[in-house]
């Protein structure tokens, strides 16, 4: 076999591997739009890494301080108050709670803190989420929702987090 043939073969193998990869997305994102008269906007990006899904959220336009952030069940942010996104994503039928401390909704990410300029970022990695496998644990098609108030981790089923100030549907990239 000549060097050229080996080269061509490697390119073909790389191409086929790339095609197989494309069928199951490993990245997703939600474009967060202002809701309930807020000026909050931002992005949430999801990346599959080994057995985990990592999420990085970047927000601006928040009131300084603590705000709840959840994944909500329905991938529908069409309502002006984002009520269309439904309740917290809860594929395991548990009570509302604190991330990683059973019982909790799989959408109960918790709180993030906006600085004096109204900017906030948060990164978490989860092994209770999947991305692109169509399982009940798959984040695709659900909504990222940011709230006006802090999640108290106890009030059922919402955490008493107040209005919905930003919403975005999680879509494959
Ligand atoms: Cu929420
Ligand atoms: Zn919840």
Segment 21-44, tens digit of pLDDT: 556 789 999 999 999 999 999 999
- How high does pLDDT run on average in the chain? 91
For residue 110, give the nearest of 148, 71, 73 by alpha carbon: 71
Distance, CA 158 to ligand 1 centroid (Å)? 7
Q: Which residue has the higher pLDDT, 141 or 4?
A: 141
Distance, CA 6 to ligand 2 centroid (Å)? 54
pLDDT at position 88 is: 98
Distance CA 97, CA 78 (A): 27
| The dihedral sign for the CA sequence 84, 88, 89, 92 | negative
| Structural domains in the chain plus CATH codes | 24-172 (2.60.40.200)
Tokens of 148: 């006006």
Tokens of 125: 């990695």
Residue tagged 């107040």 (tokens): 162
Q: Please state the rounded mean pLDDT for residues 68-78.
A: 98
103 prior amide bond cis, ω within 30: yes
Q: What is the pTM of this model?
A: 0.87
> What residues does the ion ligand 2 have nearby, CB within 5 Å?
88, 96, 105, 108
């Amino acid at each position: 076999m000549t060097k050229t043939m080996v080269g061509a073969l490697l390119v073909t193998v790389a191409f086929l591997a790339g095609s197989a990869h494309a069928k199951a997305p490993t990245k997703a994102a939600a474009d967060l739009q202002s809701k309930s008269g807020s000026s909050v906007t931002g992005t949430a990006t999801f990346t599959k890494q080994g057995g985990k899904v990592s999420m990085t959220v970047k927000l601006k336009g928040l009131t300084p301080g603590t705000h709840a952030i959840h994944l909500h069940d329905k991938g529908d942010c069409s309502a002006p108050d984002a009520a269309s996104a439904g309740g917290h994503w809860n594929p395991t039928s548990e009570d509302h709670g604190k991330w990683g401390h059973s019982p909790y909704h799989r959408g109960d990410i918790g709180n993030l803190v906006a600085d004096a300029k109204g900017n906030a970022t948060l990164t978490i990695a989860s092994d209770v989420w999947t991305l692109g496998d169509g399982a009940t644990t798959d984040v695709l098609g659900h909504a990222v929702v940011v709230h006006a108030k802090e999640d108290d981790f106890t009030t059922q089923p919402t955490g008493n987090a107040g209005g919905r100030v930003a919403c975005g549907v999680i879509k494959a990239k």
